[in-house]
Amino acid sequence: MTNRLDPKVDFVFKRIFGVEENKDVLLDFLNVTLRESEPSPITDIQLLNPYIDKNALYDKQSILDLHARTADGKQVNIEIQLFNRYDIEKRTLYYWSKMYSSQLEEGQKYKDLKKTITINILNFNFIPNDRYYNLFHLREHHSGSRLTDDIEIHFMELPKLQSQRASLSDKLVKWLLFLKGVDKQELWEVIAMNEPTLQKAMDTLEFLSQNEEARRLYEMRQKALHDEASMIDGAKEEGKREKEIEVAKNLLEMGLDVTKIAKATGLPESEVKKLKEQLH
């Protein structure tokens, strides 16, 4: 059997959930995700960015998110994030605010603004608790009363499913295990049992996995994402090194021994000696 593509790669996710013929799949996933915050199930949805520009697959900075609008005008944005770009909370609020404010055209009133929902599916841990699913609203600090329903942000952290006894009776768990990419056939079959839309998502993934063009585009997107991850890691390492050098310089100015500074900072003694020469 052909190895399945990773449904967490944004290109694949969008091909499963962000096409007209799979709107029922998207609706099922959204209704499970929004079951705590939406009073009634979503019955119809309009895809606002259904197409994938092939040039975007090469672009390391491209965000292949899924943007949709419900029948009553609420906006929903779903984004898969494979690795931590850092400042994720500010980034999330920034994109949420752009989506929220873009609803108003000239002459419209603020009351015309509709609820805007962001769903972040993360392949890393971010929220400092053990829950794989966290829901945020804007609330008053002391009473906990909600200021407005218009802002709603969901975080789903796939790695945390490993550390919990996740119940397969919970449909959200089934969807997240599908996205996580379970590799055991028996678990795959259990997840899809009596779940026709989940089975349809799995069938779509199987089709993409066996389609030569889809695999080519998938590999192209994977390369772009790996390049971005390497770039971020490189920047992080460079920042760490700059901090070590700054600390070493401060310790040299305090008159500490070169050997002790090397041990404290992790820099080679030869480099600390060069820094000492530069300072004097």
Instruction: State yes or no: pLDDT of 38 exceeds 70.
Output: yes
Average pLDDT over residues 52-69: 73
Rounded CA-CA distance 96/106 in Å is 20
Instruction: Assess contact for 156 and 176: CB atoms under 8 A.
Output: yes
Q: What percent of the chain has pLDDT over 90?
A: 53
Q: pLDDT tens across 186-229, in order?
A: 677 788 888 999 999 999 999 999 999 888 888 887 787 666 66
Write out the E strands in the chain. 45-47, 66-70, 75-81, 116-122, 133-139, 146-157
**Tokens, residue 101:** 């404010």
Domains of the chain by start residue, with CATH: 10-210 (no CATH), 231-279 (1.10.10)
Instruction: State yes or no: pLDDT of 129 exceeds 80.
Output: yes
Q: pLDDT tens across 95-127, in order?
A: 999 999 999 987 789 999 999 999 999 999 999
Token pair 């994938």: residue: 52
The three-state secondary structure class of 271 is helix
Instruction: State yes or no: pLDDT of 55 exceeds 70.
Output: no
Q: Bridge partners of 121?
A: 80, 156
| Res. 10 pLDDT band, cuts 50 70 90 | confident
Give me the pLDDT at residue 136, please.
Answer: 97
Instruction: Assess contact for 57 and 217: CB atoms under 8 A.
Output: yes
Give me the pLDDT at residue 163, please.
Answer: 46
Give me the pLDDT at residue 178, please.
Answer: 92
DSSP 8-state secondary structure symbol assigned to residue 154: E
Give me the pLDDT at residue 47, please.
Answer: 95
Give me the pLDDT at residue 230, please.
Answer: 64
Give me the pLDDT at residue 231, please.
Answer: 63
Average pLDDT over residues 263-268: 79
Residues for the chain: how many in total? 280
**All residues at 6 or more sequence positions from 209 whose CB lies less than 8 Å from its CB, including other chains:** 2, 3, 4, 5, 215
Compare 219 and 19 and report the one with higher pLDDT: 19
Q: pLDDT tens across 146-176, in order?
A: 999 999 999 999 999 874 566 788 999 999 9
pTM: 0.78
Radius of gyration of the chain (CA): 23
Q: Is 255 left (phi over 0), alpha (psi -120 to 50) or beta?
A: left
Average pLDDT over residues 243-266: 77
Closest CA to 218 of 26, 1, 69, 7: 7
Instruction: State yes or no: pLDDT of 79 exceeds 90.
Output: yes
Instruction: State yes or no: pLDDT of 70 exceeds 60.
Output: yes
